């Protein structure tokens, strides 16, 4: 990475941490520690378990992001390996921040070990990012069309304008499928060649991406339901707007940004306990599961590399190409 790119990357990370710290302070400073603890304890176990189930469903969908990318590069890598690389990279990357870079680096470690090229991994990361965008476009369009009033209040525009914006977002996803169906000419960027996925794969991206964000919204709603009667559409609206804010600020894991945005949209319906429980369930628990798995994987990779190098050296010695070490 060049010096200018390093400065930009680290600067973005510092900016993201600063924004996250400030917003987290603003969001938590109005509560005492006892109030926060009591708010979390007030969430029934049934709500917590359902939220965890929705979270698990979301991470299952996230493996579909990688599956689509691997199929795009025409690799026959089996799904269990794809799921492992996806969960570890996103389980860590979503909490570390700059998920595209951090999860991309972890993906490269796995996929390169399994024989994929640097170009293949870059395409997998790119297609996964596109799937994220398509999911946000589709779910954002749906909530704007079905629930224009809440979005209009937040954006301070007329509900009719929100409705038009929602339809435009949905049309953008349709345009992507049409482009996949009819634009087959490849695009060359430096030494790499990119082309649109097949229409079938494009539809799969939209479905997987939308279902993923729909499940995360359900996870958030379930936790807020513990104290208030929260509509799914309003919770989905809050989550979509929160994700847009995260993309703008680059805060690590959306820390502080997601909480402040959701609370701004939901008001008192988004209790501090529900927001902290969501942070723990969707970010912290996967992070602490993915971390030891990544360490074990790294140890296995190193052991296999050592065995491969030893075997290669022994083969060379048997062929007389390397002199034995005294």
User: Domain locations in the chain?
Assistant: 49-299
pLDDT number for residue 4? 65
Distances (CA, A) of 40 to 30, 64, 88, 218, 276: 16, 32, 27, 18, 7
Query: What pLDDT, on a 0 to 100 scale, did the predictor assign at position 17?
Result: 56
Q: In 145-297, which ranges are E strands?
A: 187-189, 192-194
For residues 262, 267, 270, 271, the Cα torsion angle rounded to the nearest 10 degrees is 130
The helix-helix angle for 272-279 and 199-224 (nearest 10°) equals: 140
Q: What does the pLDDT average to over 80-100?
A: 81
How far apart are the C-alpha atoms of 34 and 55, rounded to whole Å?
A: 27
CA quadruple 204, 208, 211, 214: dihedral positive or negative? negative
Residues 6+ apart with CB under 8 A from 308: none
Q: What is the pLDDT of residue 302?
A: 78
Query: What radius of gyration do the chain's Cα atoms show?
Result: 22
Mean pLDDT, rounded, for 64-79: 93
Q: Give the residue among 49, 43, 46, 79 at the shortest CA–CA distance from 64.
A: 79
- CA 290 from centroid of its chain's CA atoms: 14
DSSP state of 231: -
Residues of the chain with pLDDT > 90, as a percent, come to 37
Q: Rounded to an integer, what distance in angstroms lies between the CA atom of residue 118 and that of residue 139?
A: 32
Q: Inform me whether the pLDDT recorded for 149 exceeds 90.
A: no
Place of tokens 């309003």: 234
Query: What pLDDT is attached to residue 25?
Result: 56
**pLDDT at position 99, please?**
56
The CA-atom distances, in angstroms, between 99 and each of 22, 80, 208 are 21, 22, 18
- Do 140 and 240 meet the contact criterion of CB atoms below 8 Å apart? yes
pLDDT, tens digit, 9 for 90 and up, residues 138-147:
999 999 999 8
Q: Angle 257-266/272-279 helices, nearest 10 degrees?
A: 140
């Amino acid at each position: 990475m060049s010096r200018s790119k390093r400065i930009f990357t680290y600067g973005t990370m510092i900016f993201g941490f600063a924004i996250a710290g400030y917003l987290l302070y603003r969001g938590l400073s109005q509560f005492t520690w006892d109030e926060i603890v009591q708010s979390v304890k007030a969430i029934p176990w049934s709500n917590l378990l359902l939220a965890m189930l929705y979270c698990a469903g979301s991470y299952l969908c996230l493996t579909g992001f990688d599956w689509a990318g691997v199929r795009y590069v025409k690799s026959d890598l089996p799904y269990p390996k794809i799921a492992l690389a996806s969960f570890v990279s996103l389980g860590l990357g979503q909490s570390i921040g700059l998920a595209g870079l951090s999860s991309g680096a972890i993906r490269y470690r796995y996929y390169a070990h399994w024989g994929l090229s640097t170009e293949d991994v870059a395409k997998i990361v790119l297609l996964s990012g596109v799937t994220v965008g398509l999911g946000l476009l589709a779910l954002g369009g749906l909530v704007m069309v079905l629930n224009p009033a809440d979005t209009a209040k937040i954006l301070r525009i007329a509900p009719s304008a929100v409705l038009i914006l929602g339809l435009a977002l949905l049309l953008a996803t349709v345009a992507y499928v049409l482009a996949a169906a009819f634009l087959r000419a490849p695009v060359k960027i430096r030494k790499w060649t990119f082309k649109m996925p097949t229409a079938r794969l494009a539809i799969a991206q939209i479905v997987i991406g939308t279902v993923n964000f729909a499940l995360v919204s359900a996870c958030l709603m379930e936790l807020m339901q513990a104290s208030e009667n929260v509509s799914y559409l309003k919770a989905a609206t809050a989550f979509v707007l929160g994700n847009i804010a995260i993309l703008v600020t680059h805060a690590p894991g959306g820390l502080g940004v997601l909480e402040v945005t959701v609370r701004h949209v939901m008001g008192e319906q988004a209790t501090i306990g529900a927001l902290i429980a969501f942070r723990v369930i969707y970010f912290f628990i996967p992070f602490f599961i993915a971390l030891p798995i990544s360490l074990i994987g790294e140890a296995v990779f190193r052991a296999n590399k050592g065995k491969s190098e030893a075997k290669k050296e022994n083969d060379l010695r048997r062929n007389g190409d390397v002199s034995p070490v005294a």
